[in-house]
Amino acid sequence: EEMDVDTIWMDGEFVPWEEAQTHVLTHSLHYGTAVFEGVRCYDTEQGPAIFRWEEHLDRLYQSAAPLGHDISHDREELTEATLELIRRQDLESCYIRPLVYYGYNSLGVSPRDCPTETTIACWPWGTYLGEDALEQGVDVMVSSWRKHHSSQIPTNIKATGPYINSMLAGEEARSNGYVEAIVLNKEGDVAEGPGENIFMVNDGEIFTPGLSESILDGITRQTVIELAEELGYTVHDEASISRGQLYTADELFFTGTAAEVTPIKTVDDTVIGDGSRGPVTEELQSRFFEVIERRTDDHDEWFTYV
Ligand code: PMP
């Protein structure tokens, strides 16, 4: 299936889709040494706007550093390239995928002689976990795969190789008839979804695993924590959540750029709450969509208008 993309930005050039290619001996293809971002541009009441672009750029540069990538494009250049890609393709809302990888020079594990190459692509992308997911919630299973510990592979950066863990957990869930997985960390406590952070609601308070639980510090996670606190909720954002607590939670939901705010309906076939989107999830979700669709004046600082 060909994506609805006609232009891809590659190190300063706007390249036609079919010419956006790299060699099979690309270092990052062999060793998973690329870093990337996933960002959404929303069709707001004030036109297309990229949500929290600056934070995604921060994380891209942070992800690059420990892998030794020296991104030879500054923030302004990457921003201009992205805005131009959206304008040229007349996109109103889209998903944005910056990718920074080691190209070809040699194929030793050391990337020292390999060039760091940067690409950006944008394409239309709807809801991630299915049409009804945002309203009805999703059925998930606890994966038999554990999330690698942050001392084994950094979990606070977005590198490509570690997505093997996400892919295995997600495919295991889908093979078993579930929509998505929940992945436990090495200690057996709740970490996150394959491409989502997870939140739990109990007695009107909100809990989410802390960064020391080997999770990605999702930008949607940060957003939902901030919005929840503004609404007056107590948020425990360094919680340790046991597997058992999943099944007895009042409410559970996922957050992520792709998943946005998605309620979890069942875990391992155990119904969570009364099996429908809970009241706290619903309030946070509608506040989230109010903000991203710009039906409110506040948090305009989170938007980069195209
Ligand atoms: N955890 C993992 C493993 C992810 O891949 C993602 C998606 N980037 C998230 C959490 C959510 O992060 P964000 O809200 O920044 O998209």
Query: For the segment 217-263, what is each residue's pLDDT rounded down to a tens digit?
Result: 999 999 999 999 999 999 999 999 999 999 999 999 999 999 999 99
Domain end (from 90, 123, 156): 123
Say if 109 falls within a structural domain.
yes
- CB-based burial label for 49 (10 Å; 0-12, 13-18, 19+): buried
Residues 6+ away with beta carbon under 8 Å from 245: 190, 200
Structural tokens at position 212 = 């020391």
Q: How far is CA 114 from CA 24, 99, 108, 120, 280, in A?
A: 14, 15, 10, 19, 49
Residues 6+ away with beta carbon under 8 Å from 97: 36, 37, 38, 39, 120, 121, 122, 123
d(CA 112, CA 85) in angstroms, rounded, equals 31
Q: Which domain covers residue 98, as residue numbers?
A: 7-123
Pocket of ligand 1 (CB under 6 A): 38, 166, 192, 195-197, 216, 218-221, 255-257
pLDDT at position 25 is 96
Of the candidates 207, 172, 167, 171, the one whose C-alpha atom is nearest the C-alpha of residue 190 is 207
Can you tell me which atom of ligand 1 is nearest the CA of 220? 14
Let me know whether 85 and 145 are in one domain: no
Let me know whether 158 and 243 are in one domain: yes
Pocket test for ligand 1, best of 35, 97, 197, 225 (most atoms within 8 A of CB): 197
Say if 299 falls within a structural domain.
no
Tell me: ipTM over 0.90: yes
Domain end (from 79, 105, 123): 123
What CATH number does residue 146 fall under? 3.20.10.10
CA–centroid distance, residue 40 to ligand 1 (Å): 12
d(CA 25, CA 34) in angstroms, rounded, equals 14
Let me know whether 184 and 248 are in one domain: yes
CA–centroid distance, residue 113 to ligand 1 (Å): 30
Pocket test for ligand 1, best of 60, 196, 214 (most atoms within 8 A of CB): 196
Residues of the chain with pLDDT under 70: 1-3
Pocket test for ligand 1, best of 54, 128, 168, 257 (most atoms within 8 A of CB): 257
Say if 118 falls within a structural domain.
yes
CA–centroid distance, residue 298 to ligand 1 (Å): 24
Let me know whether 56 and 141 are in one domain: no
Say if 17 falls within a structural domain.
yes
Q: How many domains does the chain have?
A: 2
Let me know whether 110 and 228 are in one domain: no
Say if 223 falls within a structural domain.
yes
Give nearest CA residue, ligand 1 atom 2. Answer: 195
Of the candidates 160, 157, 6, 8, the one whose C-alpha atom is nearest the C-alpha of residue 82 is 8
Among candidate residues 147, 158, 186, 265, the one labeled active-site is 158
Let me know whether 110 and 51 are in one domain: yes
CA–centroid distance, residue 217 to ligand 1 (Å): 7
Q: Which residues on adjacent β-strands are paired with residue 7?
A: 16
What CATH number does residue 15 fall under? 3.30.470.10
CA–centroid distance, residue 189 to ligand 1 (Å): 18
The DSSP code sequence of 155-196 is: SSS-BSTTHHHHHHHHHHHHHTT-SEEEEE-TTSBEEE-SS-
d(CA 73, CA 104) in angstroms, rounded, equals 19
pLDDT at position 65 is 97
Say if 298 falls within a structural domain.
no
pLDDT at position 157 is 97
pTM of the complete model beyond 0.90: yes
Can you tell me which atom of ligand 1 is nearest the CA of 37? 8
Let me know whether 205 and 253 are in one domain: yes
Domain end (from 123, 153, 180): 123
The DSSP code sequence of 20-82 is: ----TT-HHHHH---EE--EEEEEETTEEEEETHHHHHHHHHHHHGGGT----S-HHHHHHHH
Let me know whether 20 and 89 are in one domain: yes
Let me know whether 36 and 176 are in one domain: no
Can you tell me which atom of ligand 1 is nearest the CA of 222? 14
For residue 65, how many other CB atoms are within 10 A of its CB? Answer: 12
Let me know whether 140 and 118 are in one domain: no
Let me know whether 149 and 29 are in one domain: no
Instruction: Note if 158 is an active site residue.
Output: yes
H or E stretch covering 102: strand 94-102
pLDDT at position 3 is 64
Let me know whether 103 and 149 are in one domain: no
